[in-house]
Chains A and B, each alone.
Chain A
Amino acid sequence: MNTATLAAGLMAISLQAATPLILGSLGEIIIEKSGVLNLGIEGTMFLGAFVGFFVGYFTDSASLGIITAVIVGALLGLIMAVLTVSLGLDQHVSGIGITFLATEIGLFLYQALYHATGNPPHLAPLKAVKIAFLNQIPMLGVMLKQQGLTYLALMGIPVIHTLVFNSKFGLRLRAVGEKAVAADVAGINVIQTRYKALILGSALMGLGGGFLSVAQSGFVTPGIIGGRGWICIALVVFGNWKPVRVVLGALLFGGVGALQYYLQTVGLGISYEYFLMLPYILTMAAMALSRGKTVYPAEFLKAYQQRR
């Protein structure tokens, strides 16, 4: 195939591969802007993927599966909020705990149900949304055969940007994240704001997981999230907590993922694990090179005691 078609194809796959990263990162931005580090993202995406898949499988409704994934995400966000915001537990340990707990729960449910159903369950993946006429365009057409959720994620970018930077909620969010005491004095309920941020953000993460299992692949494996949650955390910092920049990073990573699939099929004669390493090595190289000014939200990682 000629390079132009190849390029279009790669870009199409990049968009698809970037979708979970976009969703997860947007969720993490909201949460971190309020001053909380949510390390539970990997586990949230994982459990969202698993539970969403099983609900979709047993009810034969992919949409129900996706909705469940979102609810699971929101619930995990709620638990994280209880631990870190209300009880003031260390955010690192809580997040890691939630990730591992959610992962173990997901694997447990998979083992328990898989044995019941016998064969690895498969769900027909959601079909790509064809925007009539637009996909007749020779080159761009290939790129525009994306999942409905991908378009949703892309539309989510300006929505989240507006939410965080131009809305009342966003103002409260950022106030709580920069100077919680001042926000509290001004009458903003710090606890409630952070709860909302965690629940909303985690819901997006659950959606990201649901995308991977229900929309994209149609089955679940233990490695389905494959570390994307962690990459989201790095992307959020690289993008300075700005939705547009973070999403550009997500697209870049989607591109690496697409490249990785391509290189595997080309068969360079070396184990595919080297390709799987690419995204992470790329992330770490980018980390090593970016000594620039990343300004964390001022209240990042600090628990807050609501004044009586």
Chain B
Amino acid sequence: MLEKLLSHPKVFAPLFALFITGIISVVFITIAGANPGQVFFYMLVGPFTSRLGLLEILAKTTPLILTGLAVVVAFNAGYYNIGGEGQLYAGALVATLAGFVLGQLPPLLLIPSLICLGFIGGAAWSAVNAGLKKIGWDEVVTTIMTNIIMILLVTALLNDFLQDPTSHSAQSLSIPVNAFYPLLAERSRVHMGLIVALVSTALVALLLNKLTLGFEIRTVGKNPSAARCAGINVNLTVLLAALLSGGLAGIAGVGEVLGVHHRLISTLSPGYGFTGIVVAKLSGLNPWITILSAVFLAILDVGSQVTNLETGVPIQLAGIIKWTFLLSLLAGQPTFNKLRRSLR
């Protein structure tokens, strides 16, 4: 019975991934001098044991859904946008500046405008990479560089022009109250951004599954030459996917400024853009499942903080788990094939 179950590739890969990830985690937990059983408990059960923990999961899920969607759209078009981090900051920067300028508008007008402007900010930054791709430069390298440039730029601006005069750290003045995202739950960090994220999921799902552009994006991703033969403008499609991807990451940045910190800070994102890659790949590039994988990764993030508090194990354990799981999950299918072939 077990053999029959294991002989199905879709079952094998996740189990294989869990197995490898489990071993690797135990190794590093032991290096840190902690008890693996305890650590797994705090990591996976810990976040659920308090109201704050549960709300923190939701708070962290919000940006991850958006950066995950950004990667889903891009990867579906075969465009490896690793620039989510920089595009997030770009959107946050634009939204902050616009927030100061337009701060007198009523929230009903102001907030949607800032979301749109943040989208445009992220999309515009992504356009740089798309442009370089057009002249032959692999987008992976360029997006990583634009990440670095944008984060440095934001930090530099926060130290120079945007700095809150009353503080000595790299943060801006608080944005106008009218721009604050309403909170969804008291005494928590769960804000309207979650709604924005869920709506975005629906829109992206609609785009990819029902609209022509979505079909074109997916076709270009699967087989660019076939797409070209079918009359699809490959370059334009990739460009649009890149812009959309950047825009979604930008909205994630907007959410962090308007909903969480209420100001622009240099440490706005603890790697949401990069985790978005894991979110997207784990969801199989499916928008709706992205919500689930975002929650999973949020649990890992919150869990690692609980673990760190209780056992002193470094929070990077979450990162090790994320990437090991992703790599071993992807390795699962080919490993399964190889094993099956050699066991014949």
Contacts and interface: CB of A to CB of B under 8 A. Distances in A.
Interface of A: 37, 39, 83, 86-90, 92-94, 96-98, 100-101, 103-105, 107-109, 111-112, 115, 227, 230, 233-234, 237, 270-271, 273-274, 276-277, 280-281, 283-284, 287-288, 291, 294
A97 B323 contact: yes
A107 B316 contact: yes
Given A97-B327, A105-B316, A294-B136, 18 more contacts: A37-B138, A39-B140, A90-B330, A94-B327, A97-B330, A100-B322, A101-B319, A101-B324, A104-B316, A108-B314, A111-B316, A112-B313, A234-B145, A274-B156, A277-B152, A277-B156, A283-B145, A284-B142
A112 B149 contact: no
Given A88-B334, A96-B140, A100-B319, A105 B28 contact: yes
B185 interface: no
B149 A83 contact: no
A195 to B, nearest CB: 16
A271 B160 contact: yes
A87 B335 contact: yes
A301 to B, nearest CB: 9
Interface of B: 28, 31-33, 80, 82, 128, 131-132, 135-138, 140-142, 144-146, 148-149, 152-153, 155-156, 159-160, 274, 277, 281, 312-317, 319-320, 322-324, 326-327, 330-331, 334-335, 338
Contacts of A93: 277, 281, 326, 330
Nearest to A288: B132
A96 B140 CA distance: 9
B331 A89 contact: yes
Given A83-B331, A87-B335, A97-B327, A291 B153 contact: no
A287 B331 contact: no
Nearest to B136: A294
Given A39-B140, A111-B316, A294-B136, A87 B334 contact: yes
Contact of B31 (A94, A109, A234): A109
Contacts of B314: 107-108, 111-112
> Could you tell me the dominant secondary structure of chain A's interface residues?
helix
A90 B160 CA distance: 42
B281 A271 contact: no
Given A83-B331, A89-B331, A280 B140 contact: no
A270 B193 CA distance: 35
A294 B327 CA distance: 31
Contacts of B135: 287-288, 291
Nearest to A291: B135
B293 to A, nearest CB: 15
Nearest to A88: B334
Given A39-B140, A112-B32, A274-B156, A96 B277 contact: yes
B241 to A, nearest CB: 16
A273 B320 contact: no
Nearest to A301: B138
5 contacts: A100-B323, A101-B324, A104-B316, A273-B153, A283-B145
Contacts of A115: 312
A132 to B, nearest CB: 42
Contacts of A227: 144-145, 148
A108 B152 CA distance: 24
Nearest to A277: B152
B27 to A, nearest CB: 10
A243 B339 CA distance: 40
B284 to A, nearest CB: 13
A270 B155 CA distance: 12
Nearest to A87: B334
B317 A108 contact: yes
A148 to B, nearest CB: 30
A92 B132 contact: no
Contacts of B327: 83, 89, 94, 97-98, 101
A96 B141 CA distance: 11
Contacts of A111: 314-316
Given A281-B149, A284-B132, A112 B31 contact: yes
